[in-house]
Structure 1
């Protein structure tokens, strides 16, 4: 597969046309504030509370379809200057207080207003969406090496009690991605509802094991304050305890639901990002290095503006330390037909997801079953359903990875 980046203008002439459009990464998460503010300041209509969720799951997919894709890349000679430009970092820094404000306003609104169950649900979904944007921001900054960015990542992840992602993603998912060992890589034939019961607990236990191993090598206790899972967890405990003390015990169910829905935003992203793709196992039992074609890619403009180029996931996994503004598209990648928000909707209906994605998966891997990460219980049925011949490479049962 040709992995060369598409042609780009000379570095001296390069201008990032999306420079100011990255501000959408600040504006879209602010939509969670619209419902409570409109309800309190304009009129107490429950429809206001549903606006953030309706925007995410209807307006954004439509904008992606209408605006289309951008496959342009910055020239490699321009990347050092592009990544050194602090404007792009300031955009991510600015999102941290926005996310905290959105979360706190949503929770306090729930704790101080009598709402019917569907009004409460609307605010829970919007607040959980805020945590989803926080996980995305934690993902972007958690890969960076500066102390400030790494701590901002932990502070943001603490909003949803999901600080273990800082460890799990960087040292677990990136190591095991697109292999049977990875709980965060969905398998062909696996529904999102089955996936969530494998991904959420698997991610936490893998993170804890990885951090325990690191601390043991350093001669420190797993319960040390150097534990990078405990650090954000303490922030979470302080935050949630304060909210419960102020708003009362009745706020606990809402907090739990918001935290779950926030975590589910990550689950559904993981589900679509590597669905069915498999790295090849080498004769020594390890897996080949992760390449751009081991991730599903999307260049849809609006959702990429809202998600710091998360959807250029192929380049991210091949080059994890690249900053969002310099992530590239490559030719011949597995491509999603819409941005993430549109694909989330499809994933909620497994028969529709399988109908849309299974044939795309087969085309992406050249119908080679040795390059497919099958749901084990469905492998034989899928082989028959799609008339796949045995390539002679059985899917490995081992969980040895590079």
Structure 2
């Protein structure tokens, strides 16, 4: 008998070449904190400007100098990467440094002998670190462990954006790149038109999502089981404690820096899906599944190191529970001309943004601009300027034969367990899902058709498959 083991080479271990470089992420708030301490100890308030100068000048320059990296970890190494607790510790480490920076900034800002210029610098410093912390919460909030979900809310408290935990995970990921999503920007829409729309729309969406979930449990939306109220309570406690300690000036400072931090998140939202649209499928009466073509990506190394590879956004939307160290580049993803650090500055100047990005949107849709996500007030103007191809016919999907459809329906109806085709979450009728309002014993057929997977939110009930 042939011993196949003698002829099969053992798998080659994969080494993450950026293993230590990922420490750049928690180093960012540490750098902010140290700059504030140094400015105070050495009586050099100019040092308070170190963080905004680094973020808006040095970081884009480093992105340009270092360049991009399109290499992906092999799928055979993903399990090893995801099990390595070092990567989790890197994400956790951001939070204590974030809080140290915030407390130091508000303490300095409320001292009587500080100039207006220094207070502005401190607002920038605290707002930038807390704005980037929303990305830390973003990485944590998608994970299944309760600890990581609570840490996500803690990271959101200083920026008063606790509802992001609900809306992003269960709203944005379900509706991204569709008119239903307040966090997806339209082609021709300025950042300044997008900002109030997304801030108000995201808040409303988070409240409605929790209202629906709690209603299934027979609870009021004002129950403290409302994840929004829990997250906002953390902000109230934090801001209240600092106000009692340092006075009402502290509250004013905290509110201003929180708005700036939230606006930093939203400018990133603005550029991530600008003009990209999932097409409507008439057969299923649903939008097509989110694909790599529905997110703008960037492989600039430095910003990816600082933002937990947020710029590999397509893979994140396809696989929300995948950890940052495992995210992949896709050739079919539309690519930004530079990293987020540069592009968010461009977004502040609409004429420059449109000049750079509108041709890219048109090219992405091969000149058929009607397929893009167009800003309503400018729709006809954009079509006149950018439409360069005949309008294509909508794609058709072959219907199942009656016998096939009936077999599938019978199979689904008879199964008591159903699995999400994205993240592997299993709904078991025996256990139900009390958190979602489905008590043990709730039959699969009683689950609302519009219900989405509670773990990844990118698959609806219709996408689940029965488990024999």
TM-score, structure 2 as length reference: 0.80
Change (3 A) 1:377 1:11: farther
User: What CA distance in whole angstroms lies between the structure 1 residues aligned with 2:258 and 2:67?
Assistant: 32
Once the two structures are superposed, residues 269-297 of structure 1 have per-residue CA deviations (whole angstroms, 9 ceiling, x without a partner) of 10000000000100033101101110000
Unaligned runs of 5+ in 1: 1-9, 395-399
Contact 2:370 2:383 in 1 (8 A): no
Greater fraction of residues in helix:
1
Unaligned runs of 5+ in 2: 1-9, 395-449, 451-457, 461-468
Matched, 1:181 2:180: yes
The alignment partner of 2:280 has SS state of coil
TM-score, structure 1 as length reference: 0.93
Q: Which of 1 and 2 has greater Rg?
A: 2
What residue is the counterpart of 1:247 in the other structure? 246
1:113 offset after TM fit, Å? 4.5
Matched, 1:117 2:116: yes
What residue is the counterpart of 1:91 in the other structure? 90
What residue is the counterpart of 1:372 in the other structure? 372
Change (3 A) 1:11 1:111: farther
Matched, 1:386 2:386: yes
What residue is the counterpart of 2:49 in the other structure? 50
The alignment partner of 1:162 has SS state of coil
User: What CA distance in whole angstroms lies between the structure 2 residues aligned with 1:371 and 1:381?
Assistant: 15
Contact 2:242 2:251 in 1 (8 A): no
The alignment partner of 1:178 has SS state of coil
Contact 1:32 1:106 in 2 (8 A): no
What residue is the counterpart of 2:169 in the other structure? 170
Contact 2:128 2:264 in 1 (8 A): yes
Contact 2:87 2:325 in 1 (8 A): yes
Matched, 1:41 2:51: no
User: What CA distance in whole angstroms lies between the structure 1 residues aligned with 2:286 and 2:86?
Assistant: 40
What residue is the counterpart of 1:213 in the other structure? 212
User: What CA distance in whole angstroms lies between the structure 2 residues aligned with 1:266 and 1:48?
Assistant: 25
User: What CA distance in whole angstroms lies between the structure 2 residues aligned with 1:38 and 1:361?
Assistant: 45
| Divergent runs of 4+, >3 A | 387-390
What residue is the counterpart of 1:397 in the other structure? none
What residue is the counterpart of 2:157 in the other structure? 158
What residue is the counterpart of 1:6 in the other structure? none
The alignment partner of 1:14 has SS state of coil
Matched, 1:22 2:22: yes
The alignment partner of 2:215 has SS state of helix
User: What CA distance in whole angstroms lies between the structure 1 residues aligned with 2:11 and 2:348?
Assistant: 43
User: What CA distance in whole angstroms lies between the structure 1 residues aligned with 2:360 and 2:113?
Assistant: 47
Once the two structures are superposed, residues 213-268 of structure 1 have per-residue CA deviations (whole angstroms, 9 ceiling, x without a partner) of 00111222212221111111111111111111111112232111101011011101
The alignment's C-alpha RMSD in Å is 1.7
